[in-house]
Amino acid sequence: MLVILLVAGCGGDPNQELRQWMDDQSKTMKGKVDTLPVVKPYVPFAYNAFDLPDPFKPRKIEPSRGSSKLAPDLNRRKEPLEAYAIESLRMVGTLERDKTMYALVRANDKTVYQVRSGNYMGQNFGVITGITEGDIRLRELVQDSSGDWAERQSRLLLDDQEQKK
């Protein structure tokens, strides 16, 4: 008899209670789905920049060749001191020979150059207009924001550091 009771106890569905609980829960649960957002209509973009320069292509910047009377002569041969910025040049002395005044100019690489009126120096097309014992006067040509050339007067003073040595 004991064997019959054991077999009868094993014959039932062990998951019956679980199935009943799941059925009860599924009756009371309702899904919560948010409403879909309103889709904006697609407006295609009209690309009209085919004729503009490519921003990723390197271009060489050239001075404009406007009709300005002050435009520099781009075809003349460059002089050695035009490779240096005017701020990096120092006047270190003067010489006078055959009634012509010469200035001695030292570049930042310690090279000393002899210049006279009419020579060019600096990167702004600077031409020497006068030399005295204390300074060099220059007329430089610079481009303004509109691309026109403007004249600018500059002076390179005798370097006092050279006088103290």
Residue 81 near residue 96 (C-beta atoms within 8 A): no
What's the pLDDT at 161?
Answer: 55
pLDDT at 163: 47
pTM of the model: 0.56
Contacts of 31 (CB under 8 A, 6+ apart): none
pLDDT of residue 25: 87
Alpha carbon separation from 152 to 38, 82, 127, 132, 139 (Å, rounded): 63, 16, 11, 19, 6
Q: Is 81-164 a domain of CATH 3.40.640.10?
A: no
Q: What is the pLDDT along the chain (165 residues), one digit of tens a residue?
A: 666 655 555 656 778 888 888 888 888 887 788 888 999 999 998 888 888 888 888 877 665 555 557 788 889 999 999 999 999 999 999 999 999 999 999 999 999 999 999 999 999 999 999 999 999 999 999 988 877 888 999 999 998 754 444
**Largest separation between any pair of C-alpha atoms in the chain:** 146
Tokens describing residue 164: 């103290």
Q: Could you tell me if 136 and 128 are in contact, meaning their C-beta atoms sit under 8 angstroms apart?
A: yes
Query: Contact at 8 Å (CB) between 164 and 146?
Result: no
First to last CA, the chain: 128
